[in-house]
Structure 1
Amino acid sequence: MNRITVAGRTDATRTGPEIGDWSDFDELAQLQRDQLPRIFAQALRSPFYAARYENGGAPIVADDFHDVEITSKQDLRGCYPFGLLAVPRTELATYHESSGTSGEPTASYYTDADWVDLAERYARKWVGITPADTFLVRTPYALVITGHLAQAAGRLRGATVVPGDARSLALPLARIVRLLHTLDVSLTWCNPTEAMMIAAAARAAGLRPDRDFPALRAMFVAAEPMTATRKRRLSEIWGGVHIVEEYGSTETGTIAGECQHGRLHLWADRAIFEVYSPETGRLSSSGCGQLVVTPLYREAMPLLRYNLADDVEVSYDPCPCGWLLPTVRVYGRTAFGYPVDGQTVVQNQLEELVFGLPLDYEVNFWRAKAEPDALLLEFEAPSAVQRRAAAELGAAIEHTLGVRHVITPLPPGTLVPTEALTAQRDILKARYLFGPDESWDKALMYQ
């Protein structure tokens, strides 16, 4: 077995399979079946699953898996904080929580061995992460897992990690641009909107994203469903760099990654994936519905048939990359549409149309509101192209969606204020003694 180090911790032994350890989908399914008894036995060590299966106790076998109940997000909320803990707390390496946008956060926790699995899955990038890379992590390092996950994977592969954080007063966009430029950053990790924002901040600093960052070779993105048109636009803005998608959650870590042919592959050697139909209550191995995940190598917090509640489409059709793994299209929890003028309008439809406009129109920031009788859409664009951009976008909406619409072009800096792109904030440390000519109004304040 391989001995590896993750995030500076003690060496841990890799126990999970790697791509190429199976020769067909039958062997892949056998890998999954082999892990089921172990992961079910581990789950029964947690208070939640012990109570749910109080008449059980024997490890489940593959033929019994269809009897396992779905674990919902509400189950996780009800178990807050340690109702799903399956190891002594002394064995925990990290504790995390979801963003809590619903007002009720969910807790997640991982052991050192869990982190080996997490880092290995994230590091499965077809472009590679190497010791020659400088890797700028521009996602939160707070309670969510994203920043820590990328850092662990970067260190696993020997890259130099730059912890750029996100939503931090200490690291405004202008400073991120400076780091990206002066450190010759070769890889980044952020959400697609942040990649657009960094490009706008670079232009505000007098730099060209498509020319002045020659070391940049790939941007890893996640957290937002993204159409092929938007992905292509991001690559164009950044001079043709690879835009590599990632899919996962704080509760599960990475569960899918992109191959060189642009398809997202589920890491089905490390988890069992199913598609749940809310209409019928049925689970299947492929098709459209909500993604259900059973991680196979989880120690601290085993999850049995955990419903992510993301709308997806899973397929086992062959991929030219040769990876014998199912593929997934992720529509997210915003895949539902809004009624407008007798039609249903969804976000990905509009995204295709907005980013279908010519690159030189510079339409990168936009928003829309679905009113019952008309679609309201605003976008930023330079004054010289506003009229043409509005006319072309309106024609595309009429042709594709057939709904009444009102399109309003806005000057750059309206939706994304220039201050957000250029600000260089002072971050103060606590101070207690001041001179006679100094203001002491900010004593003890940290910002």
Structure 2
Amino acid sequence: MNPDSSLPQLGQWQGFEDVQRLQEKQLPQTVSWAANSPFYRSRLNPANLPTSISDLASLPLTTKQDLRDNYPWGMLAVPKERLATYHESSGTAGQPTPSYYTSEDWVDLAERFARKWIGFSESDIFLVRTPYALMLTGHLAHAAGRLRGATVVPGDNRSLAMPYARVVRVLHDLGVTLTWAVATEYLLWAAAAAAAGHRPGSDFPALRALFTGGEPLTDVRRQRISRIWGVPVIEEYGSTETGSLAGECPDGRLHLWADRALFEVYDPKTGTVRSEGEGQLVVTPLFREAMPLLRYNLEDDVSVSYRDCACGWNLPTVRVFGRAAFGYRVGSTTVAQHQLEELVFALPDSYGVLFWRARVEPDRLRVEIEVSQEHREAARAELAASVRSVIGVDAEVVGLPPGSLVPAAVLTSMPDVVKPRSLFGPDEDWDKALLYY
């Protein structure tokens, strides 16, 4: 993978108009690639392919269901011999959502993820703690780290070989400097570190930053994680179908990589599409040859803005609500996860509340938090009061002893990883013969 590619690089444009010129220049090639796939061949007129952004707007949106309906190879635009990797998203629709990339596609993927303002270097030890199996996320971070010369620790987070106790040991003993995980992992790591006798904010001095993505993250939870670990929490936004779509600038705003993809905002209520505002994010990756996507609706709720940012990147900014925008009704009020998260993590740090859950029923809201006996009554009363004040719902808040929601064994155990074996000695447990984990 060549890090000195001819792809657009940050700083090569002076404003939004320059970015649009880059988009217009690449778009005909993108559409031409798309016309090679069975799916788009049926949608496009080869004698009159779209050549501009305004032309593209006449095409229907590509949906997630389109990808599922064309599993496995209906979206393929190159010979299979040219493919480097095949992936499927983590969606819960019950149908596979395929994605595939050539080695050339991977240069674009890795470069976009590597656009971290804090930077990768050869001296970094980079722990990747997101899934590797089928999903893109772990492989993407791994490739970006290697692109910039970092030493990658492939931690995964769906393997018994990497329990939380081992994560803490690796963080501490290897002097990990950068990490990639969903935000909830960082709270679990903090609890596991404390269980191992470590102080997250002081016993990991090599740590420089925590990279995160894959779940909605409120500012208050991000700030709490940053205070716990004493380093910046830097957000990333993307998908298995597209790779990285946005990254955080030094001023803390998420910027869409508009030099590498076209973005639109779709209002499902009216069917209208705009360049900015609130709605569902529609994306056309511009440098994707194996599986081109034209006007692909991610179905994530976002807010896109073209206002200037002090960082000087001259790229549109995005706020991602994702599934956090979805809520449940309690009486006449809708309760969303991000609302409760903001209130839980607004509790004083001294209460030590890291883990919580809530259940919504038609006529009541029950919230459970892990909190020590010393602070239990205060935390319960304060959270109930803030839910009533901010959301307008009377909540039953229950304080649980630490270990009730996240058992201590989850944080401290080192499960036995057994390799396949059929022959055992007289004093060995031969019931492990079929335990392939």
Counterpart for residue 140 of structure 2: 149
Counterpart for residue 195 of structure 2: 204
TM-score where L is the length of structure 2:
0.98
Residue 314, structure 1, aligned to residue 304, structure 2: yes
Asked whether the 8 Å contact 2:324–2:338 carries over to 1, the reply is no
- 1:158-184 Cα distance to aligned partner (Å, 9 max, x none): 000000001211111101110000000
- 1:269-314 Cα distance to aligned partner (Å, 9 max, x none): 0000110000111110100000000000001000000000000000
Partner of 1:441, secondary structure, is helix
Partner of 1:52, secondary structure, is coil
Residue 79, structure 1, aligned to residue 79, structure 2: no
Shift of 1:15: 2.8
Residue 354, structure 1, aligned to residue 355, structure 2: no
214 and 124 in structure 1: CA distance in 2 versus 1, 3 angstrom threshold: same
Aligned length: 437
Counterpart for residue 369 of structure 1: 359
Partner of 1:81, secondary structure, is coil
Shift of 1:340: 1.4
Counterpart for residue 8 of structure 1: none
Where does structure 2 lack aligned partners over 5 or more consecutive residues?
none
Partner of 1:274, secondary structure, is strand
Asked whether the 8 Å contact 1:315–1:326 carries over to 2, the reply is yes
Residue 291, structure 1, aligned to residue 281, structure 2: yes
Residue 192, structure 1, aligned to residue 183, structure 2: yes
Counterpart for residue 301 of structure 1: 291
- 1:345-395 Cα distance to aligned partner (Å, 9 max, x none): 111111111100111111110011222222111100111001011111111
Shift of 1:54: 4.5
- Give the distance between the partners of 2:154 and 2:118, measured in 1 at CA: 21
- 1:389-413 Cα distance to aligned partner (Å, 9 max, x none): 1111111112111212100011111
- Give the distance between the partners of 2:6 and 2:270, measured in 1 at CA: 37
Residues 48-447 of structure 1: matches in 2 within 5 Å?
A: 48-54=39-45, 56=47, 58=49, 60-238=51-229, 240-447=230-437
The aligned amino acid for 2:107 is V
- Give the distance between the partners of 2:30 and 2:179, measured in 1 at CA: 34
- Give the distance between the partners of 2:35 and 2:272, measured in 1 at CA: 24
- Give the distance between the partners of 2:309 and 2:358, measured in 1 at CA: 35
- Give the distance between the partners of 1:311 and 1:61, measured in 2 at CA: 26
- Give the distance between the partners of 2:418 and 2:47, measured in 1 at CA: 57
Asked whether the 8 Å contact 2:300–2:320 carries over to 1, the reply is yes
Asked whether the 8 Å contact 1:173–1:420 carries over to 2, the reply is yes
- Give the distance between the partners of 1:77 and 1:419, measured in 2 at CA: 39
Where does structure 1 lack aligned partners over 5 or more consecutive residues?
6-10
Shift of 1:60: 2.7
Partner of 2:378, secondary structure, is helix
Asked whether the 8 Å contact 1:129–1:154 carries over to 2, the reply is yes
Identity of aligned residues (%): 60
- Give the distance between the partners of 2:376 and 2:3, measured in 1 at CA: 57
57 and 84 in structure 1: CA distance in 2 versus 1, 3 angstrom threshold: farther
Shift of 1:444: 4.2
- Give the distance between the partners of 2:48 and 2:86, measured in 1 at CA: 27
Partner of 1:95, secondary structure, is strand
Asked whether the 8 Å contact 2:50–2:56 carries over to 1, the reply is no
Shift of 1:59: 5.1
- Give the distance between the partners of 1:365 and 1:394, measured in 2 at CA: 16
The aligned amino acid for 2:5 is R
The aligned amino acid for 2:416 is D
- 1:397-431 Cα distance to aligned partner (Å, 9 max, x none): 12111212100011111111111111101111122
342 and 63 in structure 1: CA distance in 2 versus 1, 3 angstrom threshold: closer
- Give the distance between the partners of 1:438 and 1:373, measured in 2 at CA: 56
Asked whether the 8 Å contact 1:155–1:161 carries over to 2, the reply is yes
The aligned amino acid for 2:333 is Q
- Give the distance between the partners of 2:217 and 2:426, measured in 1 at CA: 56
Asked whether the 8 Å contact 2:384–2:394 carries over to 1, the reply is no
Shift of 1:56: 4.5
Cα-Cα RMSD: 1.2
The aligned amino acid for 1:121 is R
- Give the distance between the partners of 1:342 and 1:436, measured in 2 at CA: 67
The aligned amino acid for 1:231 is R
Partner of 1:209, secondary structure, is coil
- Give the distance between the partners of 1:182 and 1:199, measured in 2 at CA: 16
Partner of 1:207, secondary structure, is coil
Moved more, 390-399 or 263-272: 390-399
Shift of 1:64: 1.0
Moved more, 257-266 or 59-68: 59-68
Shift of 1:13: 6.4
The aligned amino acid for 1:269 is D
Partner of 2:258, secondary structure, is coil
Counterpart for residue 31 of structure 1: 22
